[in-house]
Chain A
Amino acid sequence: MIATPLAGYLLVAALVFAIGLAGALTRRNAILVLIGIELMLNAANLNLIAFWRYGPHPEAMTGMMFAIFSIAVAAAEAAVGLGLVISIYRHAKTTDLDQINRMKG
């Protein structure tokens, strides 16, 4: 049995992070790799919020602000990443990362 609620949230975040890492490392499709990265970012956000909630000074709102800024940066990252995938697809006619193995166009 899990001793404290914080440990439960941290374990869930670790599990989601590991799932995202496995997805980013094992999938062939570039979009699925981006999905894995998004899952990892979200797991980090869950850690920030959990530590904010059970930390000694939740009224300072530091952890929650960090998570909100992290969500904004993740949105920018997703837009740029998917734009790059579309650009690569137009160039190489595939999103299979095992086939995109040249830096020269």
Chain B
Amino acid sequence: MGIAFYIISALTVCGGLAAVLLKNTVHCALALTVAFAGLALLFLQLDAQFAGFAQILVYIGAVAILVVFAILLTRGSDTPKDGVFSKTWLAGLAIAAAVFSVLGWAVLQAAPWLPHETVAPNVTVNQIGDALMGRYVLPLEIVAVLLTAALVGAVIVAMHEKEGAK
């Protein structure tokens, strides 16, 4: 494993930590963008070019912008007086630490049996398109319907209610 993996991993983890820990919500959204970019770079390191660029387009281009819009629309950038963490933060932190220790223990236990470095798979966008139109055409259509329904639903949920319409 090269030095690039360690640098990108450190970037991703620091971005994630900042997204969760910072006080100002807008700063959290910007740190989240760094974490998404780090994950996209990890995808590119794993020779998954299409997934990496889809990650950049969808997450950095759409989801991060959506999060910033939601923060600004809800005045979420005002820091509350009684702290940004919930009253039960200790229990949440303990659960997260327990989950990480179980996952890490499982990975380290299984590490000797995990497959070693293999030849990089050569998957072109052409092949991905063929697969999406052939073997995966039904899931593709279902995802298209799901996205349409979800976006129409989101607009209806967030649309301003008329006074007296209740």
Number of interface residues of B (CB under 8 A): 86
A27 vs B153: C-alpha distance in the bound complex, in angstroms? 26
In contact, A21 and B5 (Cβ under 8 angstroms):
no
Residues 53-70 of chain A: 1 if any B CB is under 8 Å from the residue's CB, otherwise 0? 111101101001101110
Give complex CA distance A34, B155 in Å.
Answer: 18
Given contacts A31-B74, A32-B28, A58-B123, contact A7 B86 (CB under 8 A): no
- Mark A1-24 against chain B: 1 for CB-CB distance below 8 A, else 0: 011111111111011111111111
Contact call B100/A27, Cβ cutoff below 8 A: no
B111-153 contacts to A, CB under 8 A, are: 111-112, 114-118, 120-121, 123, 127-128, 131-132, 136, 139, 143, 146-147, 150-151, 153
Contact of B76 with A4 in the complex, beta carbons under 8 Å: no
Asked if B162 lies at the interface with its beta carbon under 8 angstroms from chain A, I say no
Interface of A is mostly: helix
Once the chains bind, are A38 and B32 in contact (CB under 8 Å)? Answer: yes
Complex interface bits, B33-73 against A, C-beta within 8 A gives 1, otherwise 0: 00110010011001110110011001100110011011101
Chain B contacts with A in 85-118, Cβ cutoff 8 A: 85-89, 91-93, 95-97, 99-100, 103-104, 107-108, 110-112, 114-118
Contact in complex: A96, B67 (CB < 8 Å): no
Given that A16-B13, A64-B51 are contacting pairs, would A42 and B39 also be in contact in the complex, using a CB cutoff of 8 Å? Answer: yes
Contacts A27-B86, A69-B143, A83-B158 given; does A16 touch B16 at CB 8 Å: yes
**Which chain A residue lies CB-closest to B89?**
A26
Q: Is B3's CB within 8 Å of the partner chain A?
A: no
6 interchain pairs, CB-CB under 8 A: A3-B111, A6-B114, A14-B103, A16-B16, A73-B143, A83-B155
Cβ-closest 7 pairs across A and B: A25-B92, A18-B100, A23-B20, A58-B121, A76-B150, A22-B96, A83-B154
> CB within 8 Å of B: which residues of A?
2-12, 14-29, 31-32, 34-36, 38-39, 42, 45-46, 49-50, 52-56, 58-59, 61, 64-65, 67-69, 71-80, 82-87, 89-90, 95-98
